[in-house]
Structure 1
Amino acid sequence: MRNFVEKLSAVLDRVAAVTMRIAGVGLVLMTIFIAWQVFGRFVLNDTPTWTESSSILIMGWFLLLGAAAGIREGNHLSFDVLLFLLGDRAKQVAYTISDIVVIGFGCGMVGYGLQLALKTWPTTIPNLGISGGIAFLALITGGALLVIYSAERLLRRAVGLPTIRFADKLAEDS
């Protein structure tokens, strides 16, 4: 089982790296689109209408993909003050509870995101001419990645492999 989890983690390392690259490209594209919008409005006196809708759509993708990768790496925003006071065993229990809660949250993102995507699929984003449901695909993808990454963390903990958390990194550095 330990060997399987190590192989799974290696695959998910690559998936997380790809998602972070996609998120990075999305951030750059959003910045370019907004810069073009400002240039068009104030220099050309002709505002491109597609830039705002595109930027909001892209922002959803890079935020949700980046958040999922941040959860996997333990770099996502968390409240770890109590963990510094706990022993190793209690800390592992707290991490497990946290991962289970994140799995539940990710399942909610997938389920409700799917409902939203299906309900808005017939609509069209006016400036882009694409389905409104596409906006919720980022929510579904991000939620699925949260579930996968948190389940991996649970598996790693179950077989005795380390799961590096940001709080642990801070404790090691001090």
Structure 2
Amino acid sequence: MEFLKRGLDKVLGIFCIILFAFLVLLVTWQVITRFVFNEPSVFSEELAKYCFVWLVLFGSAYVFGENGHMSIEFIREKFPDKLKMAVEVFIELVIIAFAALILIKGGYAVTELAWTQLSASLQIPVGYLYAAMPTSGVCIIFYCIYNISLIFQKKKPLEEIQL
């Protein structure tokens, strides 16, 4: 499982770096065409929107893999150690439920609906934009399962485990 996590971390990290670099280039091109040439590029605005949505969704999955998401630690600190583990597992299960219901199930439904709709300037299916939702949901669920397995293997809350 550790091998899969490292591989997924590497793939998501590289993908997010590429998306971010491409987004910077697109927005720079958009600014140049708008203010220097007085003819805004239509395709770059829409493509930048797609890149941004994908970057947010895959970047959030990457952050879950690094256990770098926000958490309210002062509540968790009030519990004894054995209960901290239960709270950690409960939190991971809630995240799994959210990812399964909203990102995967809802994302799949909206992707299916949008697949026949074409974007205005790029003329590609809008479903490509929404396809990032179920994909990132699967990554988040994998990371949650990995975190739960770490909790049970080490018999410690995640905050005490070096990821």
User: How high is the TM-score relative to the length of structure 2?
Assistant: 0.90
Q: How many percent identity over aligned positions?
A: 19
Instruction: String of CA shifts for 1:116-147, please: whole Å, max 9, x gaps.
Output: 01111001011111101111111111111111
Greater shift in the superposed pair: 32-41 or 65-74 = 65-74
Aligned-pair distance for 1:79?
1.9
Instruction: String of CA shifts for 1:41-90, please: whole Å, max 9, x gaps.
Output: 00011111011111111111111111112112210122222223333222
Q: Which runs of 5+ in 2 are unaligned?
A: none
Alignment-derived partner of residue 4 in structure 1: none
Alignment-derived partner of residue 34 in structure 1: 27
Q: Which runs of 5+ in 1 are unaligned?
A: 1-7
Aligned-pair distance for 1:158?
2.5
Q: Say which SS state the counterpart of residue 18 (structure 2) adopts.
A: helix
Q: Say which SS state the counterpart of residue 70 (structure 2) adopts.
A: coil
Q: Which of 137, 143, 153 is residue 143 of structure 1 equivalent to?
A: 137
Letter in 2 for 1:96: V
After TM superposition, list the pairs within 5 Å mapping 1:30-109 onto structure 2: 30-108=23-101, 109=103
User: Cα–Cα, structure 1 residues 29 and 163, in superposed 2: closer, same or farther, change >3 Å?
Assistant: farther
CA distance in 1, matches of 2:80, 2:66: 22
Alignment-derived partner of residue 3 in structure 1: none
8 Å CA contact 2:81, 2:156 repeated in 1? no
Greater shift in the superposed pair: 155-164 or 57-66 = 155-164
User: Cα–Cα, structure 1 residues 35 and 162, in superposed 2: closer, same or farther, change >3 Å?
Assistant: farther
Aligned-pair distance for 1:17?
1.8
| Aligned alpha-carbon RMSD (Å) | 1.9
Greater shift in the superposed pair: 123-132 or 150-159 = 150-159
CA distance in 1, matches of 2:121, 2:54: 18
Q: What is the aligned length?
A: 161
User: Cα–Cα, structure 1 residues 126 and 161, in superposed 2: closer, same or farther, change >3 Å?
Assistant: farther
User: How high is the TM-score relative to the length of structure 1?
Assistant: 0.85
Q: Which structure would you say has the larger RCO, counting Cα contacts within 8 Å and 6 or more residues apart?
A: 1
